[in-house]
Amino acid sequence: MQAHQPQGGGAEPTTPQARTRPPLAGSRLDMPSICDICGKARSTRKHAKCSRIRQKMKDAHWQTYMAEQVAKKQALQERRRYGR
């Protein structure tokens, strides 16, 4: 058995902030190799401007997607007999 040793200086753990977009690092991004904004190959040059434009276009999509995820999670919590 291990003795309980608190981490840190006794500060309370902070709760993570609500995400505005889902985490993408867990899987490969399924994006075409041709940029949908400028029409050039995404592997060449910098596409920071295109990325910003794409993020603004997809912002409403991500908001609805995350709202659906929250609704599914809440529905699952309501169906549980003994919620945690």
In a domain, 15, yes or no: no
Single pTM value for the model: 0.42
For the stretch 8-51, pLDDT in tens is 555 555 666 776 666 655 556 666 788 888 888 877 777 788 88
Which range marks the domain in which residue 48 is found?
30-79
In a domain, 9, yes or no: no
> CB-hemisphere CA count at 13 Å for 41?
3
Please give the tally of structural domains in the chain.
Answer: 1
In a domain, 23, yes or no: no
Higher pLDDT: 44 or 6? It is 44
What are the structure tokens assigned to 43, written together? 């592997």
The distance in angstroms from the start CA to the end CA of the chain is 26
